[in-house]
Amino acid sequence: MSRFAVHVGDITKLQVDAIVNAANSSLLGGGGVDGAIHRAAGPELAIACRALNGCKTGDAKITMGYKLPARHVIHTVGPVWQGGDVGEDDLLASCYRRSLELANDNRLASIAFPAISTGRFLFPPDRAAAIAIETTRDHLQRPGSVESVVFCCFDDRAASHYLRLLSRTEA
Active site residues per annotation:
34
Containing 5, the helix (H) or strand (E) segment is strand 4-8
Helix then strand count (H, E) for the chain reads 5, 6
Write the CA distances from 73 to 18, 76, 164, 167, integer angstroms. 5, 10, 27, 28
Burial class (CB in 10 A: 0-12, 13-18, 19+), 144: exposed
Containing 89, the helix (H) or strand (E) segment is helix 88-105
